[in-house]
Amino acid sequence: MSDAVQSTPGAAKSIPAGPKPFAPEDEASLREALKRCSPSTFEAAVQFRKTGNAEHVPAVVIGVIERFVEPDLRAKLKDADDDLRLIEDLGIDSLTMMEIVILVEDVLQMTINNDELRNLRTVGDVKTFIDCKIRGLPLPKPTKFIPIEHIGAVMPIQPPFLFLNEASVSSTAANGKYKITGQEFFLQGHFKDNPVMPASMMLEALGQLAVLYLLEGAPTEPGKMVSAQTIFFTGCEGVRAHRICKPGDVLTLSIKPKRMKMPFAWFEGSIRVGQEKAVMVEEITLTFGFVDAANQPVPINGADHAGSVNGVDASVVTPPMRVAIGG
């Protein structure tokens, strides 16, 4: 397996063939196409067309998406979170998505096949997809949205120590949500008459999301799969807690792999409540190992006919990895 994780979309690279000449009439045409977009979107598009530098692409894509999003939802794009869902969070239907794609095609001078749009479900999917098309890179695997039933079937951690209500996993990141209910066992004493989610448990939640990434999204060697029984937490660095989190808060979790070299995987992570930072972690380290991938029937909605998920018998759950991250 490659020692390094795939380069982050948006890094400073140019189109392999080089940019086409950008004449004054091209700028006028571009201004007309983006007349309903922000000035910063137009400037990013001009710089991309002049230089071919792909670092300008995310600003163009976000700006075009913003132009089609209802005004009361545009605040969600302020930080351009990659886990924002196009339909559920931004209200973008299939017809609107086609309008977005057509404008992006015109602005970036590229062609997108309609069939390629089916797997674009988040802002991150769109940015990564466009970036790969521009660079001539292989398209990444589509984001997988994982319901709580599937999470519980594949994870070694189980309730009441499982802090993921839903998750999505792509080849470059994993995102999840957890609502603090107030019924968590540790809130009975943390603190007296003032329930507050411990920072250590929020780090545990990020660690669990990293575990899910290893099981569902990490690249593997041919004929191999990551074993749930081999994943353990080994450390974290650069932790900053920015916000107290209490019952009723919905934690939005995000992790991105920084590097993988068996038996170690390094991640960066963050937790937000709405647009507010709650916890930021520079590095979370897990250990993992491979096992031979068993020949299983084709899964249907994540589970095969034998009641297993990704080759794991759903009726047999491994003991929970209660390696709470110290805080």
With 0-12 / 13-18 / 19 or more C-beta atoms within 10 angstroms meaning exposed / middle / buried, residue 194 is exposed
Q: Is 150 a catalytic residue?
A: no
How far apart CA 208 and CA 216 sit, in angstroms, is 12
Helix (H) or strand (E) holding 98: helix 94-108
Identify the active-site residue in 56, 150, 190, 305: 190
For residue 276, what are its two tokens? 């507010």
Strands (E) across 135-275 are located at 144-146, 166-169, 174-179, 224-226, 232-241, 250-261, 264-273
Per-residue burial over 48-79, b = 16 or more CB atoms within 10 Å of its CB, e = otherwise: bbebbebbbbbbbbbbbbbbbbeeeeeebbee
Say what angle helices 94-108 and 123-135 make with each other, to 10 degrees. 30
Secondary structure class of 224 (helix, strand, coil): strand
The identity of residue 273, as a single letter, is: V
Q: Which residues are catalytic?
A: 190
